[in-house]
Chain A
């Protein structure tokens, strides 16, 4: 006897205006399996799952749950059909307790007390069953993201979900937390739950899933058994051409110290001590990668170096100290000292999304004499310069009059990179270079960073993606809770050791 699929989608299509996000998608997810859906940003994964969760209505197609044709007009219907969803951005009420969040929308009656009491009992049972330990009375904003994610899973289980959809669940987790998550998912699978895991991380797919479906440009291009495929094959299916997952680079030709940071301390406006006594240096011709879970002081470090956060300590660039407070501690002074900065959050710090590409290319360098025409801006010169840069950095489409927001994540990043790298800086600060960037563009951006290193520039790379840190860095430093946990060479370490350091554990100092 064959069992009916837990979920079967037939011919799902969905358009947003002229954009077809899902084209005739069919997929079968068998019960009691972990089914991965992989694809680049904008491939239509999230849209498809939103249709399944009743957030959007499909233009065409049918949904079958356990063999039964089911209409899912809203989230209520999805919950009733036994579908639970853990969104990439958690849908929790920050100042409510865990218990209140679990109960919200699934209360038994008009009065809260009995619902809360029952939820407390059930949470305890669920915690014992699936390693899902959470303090029911903790306030959400006081607990870590890993814990918050467990609350989301508990929410779904409390609603009797048999099918659990997780959208990019590991983006905010440490490697240890991610391992814990996958253990929970294994437990759930053993209890017969069906899990759909949406991710762009090939390694997770290989490690955790039984079956994997690949999406590209709104279409489902393949569904294969995970055991019968490889990261290389999946990457090709995602991108539609051969891609290199390895970064080609020769040994570093290290020269003089460009950036030297001694005893840097940063306290933010809320009075939280973000960076604690941090010291390191970066030499010409090398890439120093700073690994760490986001929120452990790396952002503040970049902000001080970039000139938009105050700090105390000593920082020298090319042997000359730079100001950490006062009028000369701004971004323009930094740029004049040969520091270029590709910020972590390109949509808020790197670009003005509503402005044209050519305007964005001039930002920060608008004092450049070649952009001036007497007392006016020479817009024609800026546009011509932008076209040139766009061609060199393969920005598509190469139209300087398009607003920054009209470009894909990868192309936005290329615009920022072009602006900063083409200034021939001595030191490049680069945060999360490939966040929200598709695989094809990742390859290009990594090549650019390595090329800059080979020209003898110093590069400070901050990334939460360990794979990226390991692939690009010549030296790796790990930050945890505002401190440097130590330095490693990529050839002497691995993800496991770095993961421990990112969680604040250090097994003695190595070379």
Chain B
């Protein structure tokens, strides 16, 4: 296997890991605040649809991104209302959001565009284009480092770089700011936050809304950067893989990056039957390759996570005790 093939696989690893990473960080904010969110999938899907639809209509990928975030925030608001204000069951609310998004996106897409539940192909400014970083062309000929810079580091869309920037930003917010301290506290022991005179409800809504913004970016990325249109069920379980990555990362930002890269790599690997054939030495059935990332997800979660302690107040609505 030559360097270029390896770089191609790694390059697509980065592209495929990006939506996972955004969704994973989204879940991290929400779950660290004690709100479990299995509705990441639905929020991504809704954001993917609305961003593609609005990007097509407006001709601007950035306007599309805004619309995607709006769609995701709307669903986040519902989840917040159900699980914070009305103290409902967070799992049920999440499942409902997933169903709602799966159904609504297709129905609305069909009535809007009449193309069988998809949006028209995006092109030009309606789509996020790869950015060539400075000197990428010039350095391309430098042995080893040149191709790495050109193929792997340069040439992604803006959203990929934004997602990567969110990793240190999330870490900094969580562990270096007052907001982060309170956010982590409210997911561990909301009573401690409440008796300290801080609003549990406000903190949890903030966390859920941040989760909405990040899921919105993730969804918009799927439809306007990774692909060039919305198609039915295009999130394809990424919201759930992101949750798996979150558990694997034990709810920590840098580890979230690493575990999302791992899951992204599995997906990228499965897309390259030729590479797999050179590695394992025989031809592997294509459908088997498609399910490979999911099977590996299960294996990793079952066998390699070790003891993952979720935020202690996770999933529990906060009720003041007498």
Using a CB–CB cutoff of 8 Å, the interface residues on chain A facing chain B are 16, 46-47, 50, 53, 55, 74-76, 78-79, 85, 87, 89, 91-96, 100-101, 103-107, 109-113, 115, 155
Contact B189 A93 (CB under 8 A): yes
Q: With an 8 A cutoff between CB atoms, is B192 at the interface? A: yes
Chain B neighbourhood of A74, CB < 8 A: 197
A-B contact count (CB 8 A): 74
Contacting residue for A75 out of B177, B178, B184, B196, CB 8 A: B196
CB distance from A505 to the nearest CB of B (A): 34
Please give me the residue from chain B that is nearest to A80 by CB atom.
B197
The digit string for B182-195, where 1 denotes a CB below 8 A from any CB of A, is: 10110011011111
CB distance from B188 to the nearest CB of A (A): 5
Chain A neighbourhood of B193, CB < 8 A: 104-105
Contact A105 B198 (CB under 8 A): yes
Chain A neighbourhood of B197, CB < 8 A: 74-76, 78-79, 105
**Complex Cα distance A107/B184, Å?**
15
**Complex Cα distance A78/B195, Å?**
10
Chain B neighbourhood of A46, CB < 8 A: 322
Please give me the residue from chain B that is nearest to A84 by CB atom.
B195
Contact A104 B179 (CB under 8 A): no
Please give me the residue from chain B that is nearest to A77 by CB atom.
B197
**Complex Cα distance A11/B62, Å?**
61
For residues 151 through 177 of chain B, which have their beta carbon under 8 Å from a beta carbon of chain A?
175-177
Contact A113 B176 (CB under 8 A): yes
Q: With an 8 A cutoff between CB atoms, is B181 at the interface? A: yes
**Known A-B contacts A105-B182, A105-B197; A94 and B176 likewise in contact (beta carbons under 8 Å):** no
**Complex Cα distance A47/B175, Å?**
36
Range class of the B interface residue count: 20 to 34
11 contacts between A and B (CB under 8 A): A79-B197, A91-B194, A96-B188, A103-B181, A105-B182, A105-B193, A110-B177, A111-B178, A112-B175, A112-B178, A155-B196
**Complex Cα distance A109/B179, Å?**
10
Q: With an 8 A cutoff between CB atoms, is B140 at the interface? A: no
Chain B neighbourhood of A16, CB < 8 A: 322
Contact A107 B176 (CB under 8 A): no
CB distance from B111 to the nearest CB of A (A): 46
Please give me the residue from chain A that is nearest to B186 by CB atom.
A93
**Known A-B contacts A105-B196, A106-B196; A47 and B178 likewise in contact (beta carbons under 8 Å):** no
Q: With an 8 A cutoff between CB atoms, is B312 at the interface? A: yes
Contact B192 A93 (CB under 8 A): yes
**Complex Cα distance A95/B194, Å?**
17
CB distance from A33 to the nearest CB of B (A): 24
Chain A neighbourhood of B198, CB < 8 A: 76, 104-105
CB distance from A398 to the nearest CB of B (A): 26
CB distance from A409 to the nearest CB of B (A): 14
**Complex Cα distance A462/B192, Å?**
32
Contact A92 B196 (CB under 8 A): no
Contact B176 A87 (CB under 8 A): no
CB distance from A387 to the nearest CB of B (A): 31
Chain B neighbourhood of A115, CB < 8 A: 178
CB distance from A298 to the nearest CB of B (A): 26
**Complex Cα distance A78/B191, Å?**
16
Contact B191 A104 (CB under 8 A): no
Please give me the residue from chain A that is nearest to B178 by CB atom.
A107
**Complex Cα distance A46/B177, Å?**
34
Please give me the residue from chain A that is nearest to B175 by CB atom.
A112
Contact A47 B179 (CB under 8 A): no
**Complex Cα distance A78/B197, Å?**
9
**Complex Cα distance A101/B198, Å?**
13
CB distance from B312 to the nearest CB of A (A): 7
Contact A94 B177 (CB under 8 A): no
CB distance from A155 to the nearest CB of B (A): 8
Contact A92 B177 (CB under 8 A): no
Chain B neighbourhood of A50, CB < 8 A: 322
**Complex Cα distance A106/B178, Å?**
9
Contact B178 A100 (CB under 8 A): no
**Complex Cα distance A53/B197, Å?**
10
Contact B189 A91 (CB under 8 A): yes
Contact A111 B177 (CB under 8 A): yes
